Amino acid sequence: MPLFTIGFIGIAAVLRFAALAVSLRNEKRLKENGAVEYGAATSTMLALVHIAYYLAAIAEGLWRAAPISAVTVTGIVLYALSMIALAWVLMTLGRFWTVKIIIAPDHELVTNRFFRLVRHPNYYLNIIPELIGFALALQAYGTLIVGLPVYLVVLRLRIRQEEEAMRGRFTAY
């Protein structure tokens, strides 16, 4: 596998761990201030599926050892755009952003135009493009074909739980 691909995997790991660190810090603060978590089992399942997807794509990419191609570049560009979306979501939600469904007593509903236009931008503009881009960058087609639908089943459950929690907390939701 080209050194470039190994570098991509390393950068992707650093970005994911950095986001997780932000999430854990925010989760701790939120819970210390009386926040409530919803759908904990689904959050755990989603984390496990995310890890499995990444590991499967890496293993398949290493096994395939495909040379860098237009597919690789397309995947890297898609992945980069998904990370820009993640950064925007992190900045927009600030201290309320976590990888879990956690609602604080002082939680504020984000109602900017973008959140009204794209419901759940973290999922639709970050997570899904991230997974597709990661698999394409590594040319891990099996992971993409098998792993993405599995992930989407769990993500759909997560979105339903989040919708329910948000409707229960915010009348304007």
pLDDT at 160 over 80: yes
What does the alpha-carbon distance between residue 21 and residue 65 come to, in Å, rounded to a whole number? 31
Could you list the residue range(s) of the whole structural domain that residue 13 is in? 3-169
CATH number at residue 19: 1.20.120.1630
- What pLDDT sits at residue 1? 57
pLDDT at 173 over 80: no
Mean pLDDT of all residues in 121-149:
97
Domain count, the chain: 1
**% of the chain with per-residue pLDDT over 70:** 99
Mean pLDDT, residues 12-28: 97
**Global confidence as pTM:** 0.93
Which of the four pLDDT bands, split at 50, 70 and 90, describes residue 113? confident
The predicted model gives 91-109 an average pLDDT of: 93
**pLDDT at 116 (0 to 100):** 84
| Spatial separation of the C-alpha atoms in residues 169 and 37, rounded to whole Å | 12
